[in-house]
Structure 1
Amino acid sequence: MPITSRAAVIREAPGKFEITEVQVDDPRQNEIRIKMVASGLCHSDDHVVTGDLPVAVYPVCGGHEGAGIVESVGPNTPGFAPGDKVVFSFLPACGKCRWCSSGHQNLCDLGATVLVGSRWEDPTSFRLKLEDGSPVAQFLGISTFSEYTTVSVDSAIKVADDTPLEKACLLGCAAGTGWGSAVNSGDVKPGDTVLILGVGGIGTMAVQGAAHAGAANVIVVDPVAFKREHAQELGATHAVATAEEAAELAQSFTNGQGADVSIVTTGVISGEHVAQAFAATRKAGTVVVTALGKATDVGVPISLLELTMYEKTVKGSLFGSSNPRADIPRLLELYRNGYLKLDEVITTEYSLDEINQGYEDMHAGKNIRGVIRF
């Protein structure tokens, strides 16, 4: 029988989260129902609130960075049992399509329907419903802002029984996205000079990835002093308030050449942010674009001559170009061994009822990463 769950939903955009009751389907084959433990308050969900990231169906239940415990398992669904701990991957991985088969699970073909919020195979079938039976879309197919949620096994990674899910929830987005932006997408090398624009939850993880990869200089840019100071505690060597200051620093360390890798992890991206990173990057250097902005915005004001003549690379990075089935367990081991800091990134814990306050704190620059504890 479906169970009743309290959840944070958005009825229209722009709007705000509303706590209401939803009915959560029993799991079907290849599905599991999860009792949530914790969910990170990622800026991507706020992009849905503002309407910058439009979804196909409203109301939609938010949340995509989370972890919980298996409550029930669908029929003929091997590999999971009640009581198992799981971390969600906000992008599903089928393991069979061209992208999964070639080591690009973050680009899995199942991702084509994640903004619909239905079951992958049927755009009319929804796992969450209101009391009157009308559908509630699941953001990215998982909706971690609900006390219970039913998901496809394509979106769940089983982890060890002793995993602290209240910390490991960050592995579902922030850790892989930020760390991978430096290590995978940016291919940071020992001795590199790395520039990171924006050091919230994602940027702070990019700092750790760059430092772990052996960067000699990790320069962060953020207008909020608290975030700059926090980034220096986690591996940044220099922290400044403006991109212009960062570019000068990068040049001073590289005989005037500029950063080897620049990573854009601002809360809301603009073409100007990419242009600033591009200008601060050396010949044959790489600009990694990770942040999100308004879906309809186009254009980056960079010199096309410089793009060609200096052979610079500008590339997007989705989930840090990671393979979640391999990389989430790998990052968990790095956390266990002290190389990846998660506890230090979580600034404040909130109840589900405090979700709007959590996002107000994010906008006010009070949090690196807020987390909902269920």
Structure 2
Amino acid sequence: MKTKAAIMWEYGKDWSVEEIELDPPKEQEVLVKLVGSGLCHSDEHVLTGDLPFPLPMIGGHEGAGIVEEVGAHVTWLKPGDKVIFGFIPACGRCPSCASGHENLCDYGAQMGIGTQVFDSTSRHHAQGQDLTLMCLLGTFAERTVVNEASCIKIEDDIPLEKACLLGCGVVTGWGSSVYAADVQPGEDVAVIGIGGIGINAVQGAKLAGARHIFAIDPVELKREKALQFGATHAFASIEEATAQIGDITWGRNANKVIMTMGLGKGDMIGQAMAITAKRGRVVVTNLHNALESEVSLSALDLTLMEKQLVGSLFGSANPRVDIPRLLGLYRAGQLKLDELVTKTYSLDQVNQGYEDMRNGLNLRGVITSF
């Protein structure tokens, strides 16, 4: 069939919204009509070359939609089902999935190739070429074909244009606090970078019972939003925050520091460690340039103060469990989803959406018109 999608043909160039040819789903695959797709910073990392995924590529990995057709041997999804995509597929059988770490599923290795999990071929084509998919999804499109392992079925009453955010930013941020940082009631938490992930790390810390939540971001709008989402203090820089965090915590500093900037920098790890308490933990959730290999920190401080430095992918969460769990919190009024959406766009406005993100105008822009 013919459909429309946003394609990146070259690094550093705008997304090109154009007609593509989409093959029917094959074994273990489903055809999904998109209803909502978040404009996540990770797609911008591909554009800048910080995340060198193979091109040409259909962008988008934070999406939700309605199943229209299923391929062979798909038994638990049917046309009409509402699904949220997990940006890392979960097969349920590999050692990581079986041990409760779906965020590290072996299928994730296919993301560096961008073709279908089942047979490593493409279902999406344009201008005589096969197209790869961002995170095996390609949600910047009217329709896409994905493996069933990327789908989490949800109940019919959930608004997909909001629920799509659970495919990446909400779970990643929330899980960074609740799982990776293991925030405990009464602890003090700092979140560095208040975008689509950082704002949800603030939500996660609040739900986990943090005493003080320090939000750090240079953009005033994001600092204001952080206070609305549960932060107790907001600072424009780590330098500004350092002295005040020490005063507020009586010199103990933050028990947990979560790094959720747009693009991580190795020389900022040491700054994060410096505002971390004894036996505290720094969680690195934000992506770094794929070629960056140096980190600056005091190894003596790391040892003598027993501090921890850990990485977190997809919030160290299990999407098949945690997405329904978070939707339950949303229903109960304990998780903000509606308030995350700063502005909506059509697919044709995808480049404007990313320009707004670069200018600090959005917590999350969402494509809702395809």
Moved more, 111-120 or 159-168: 111-120
* Structure 1 position 5, deviation (Å): 1.0
* Structure 1 position 318, deviation (Å): 0.3
Structure 1: gaps (5+ residues): none
Instruction: Say which SS state the counterpart of residue 10 (structure 2) adopts.
Output: coil
* Structure-2 separation of matches of 1:76 and 1:122: 14
* Structure-1 separation of matches of 2:244 and 2:324: 36
Contact kept in structure 1, 2:191 and 2:216, CA below 8 Å = yes
Contact kept in structure 2, 1:195 and 1:246, CA below 8 Å = no
* Structure 1 position 130, deviation (Å): 1.3
* Structure-1 separation of matches of 2:228 and 2:268: 24
Deviation by residue 1:53-111 (Cα, 9 ceiling, x = unmatched): 0013x110000000000011112210111111000000001101110011100001111
* Structure-2 separation of matches of 1:278 and 1:22: 47
Contact kept in structure 2, 1:39 and 1:65, CA below 8 Å = yes
Contact kept in structure 1, 2:202 and 2:230, CA below 8 Å = yes
Matched letter for residue 23 of structure 1: E
- Provide the TM-score with structure 2 as the length reference: 0.98
Q: Does 1:85 align with 2:82?
A: yes
- Provide the TM-score with structure 1 as the length reference: 0.97
* Structure 1 position 25, deviation (Å): 1.6
Aligned residue runs from structure 1 range 50-69, under 5 A: 50-56=48-54, 58-69=55-66
Deviation by residue 1:166-219 (Cα, 9 ceiling, x = unmatched): 100000000000000000000001111000101011100000000010000000
Contact kept in structure 1, 2:28 and 2:118, CA below 8 Å = no
Aligned to 1:126: 122
Contact kept in structure 2, 1:247 and 1:259, CA below 8 Å = no
Q: Quick one: which of 89, 102, 106 aligns to 1:105? A: 102
Q: Does 1:274 align with 2:269?
A: yes
Matched letter for residue 8 of structure 2: I
Matched letter for residue 84 of structure 1: D
Contact kept in structure 2, 1:201 and 1:369, CA below 8 Å = yes
* Structure-2 separation of matches of 1:310 and 1:326: 35
* Structure-2 separation of matches of 1:300 and 1:227: 27
Aligned residue runs from structure 1 range 161-200, under 5 A: 161-200=156-195
Instruction: Say which SS state the counterpart of residue 327 (structure 2) adopts.
Output: helix
Runs of 4+ residues over 6 Å off in structure 1: none
Aligned to 2:230: 235
Q: How many residues align?
A: 369
Aligned to 1:210: 205
* Structure-2 separation of matches of 1:153 and 1:65: 16
RMSD of Structure 2 on Structure 1 (CA): 1.0
* Structure-1 separation of matches of 2:168 and 2:109: 18
Instruction: Say which SS state the counterpart of residue 338 (structure 2) adopts.
Output: coil
Structure 2: gaps (5+ residues): none
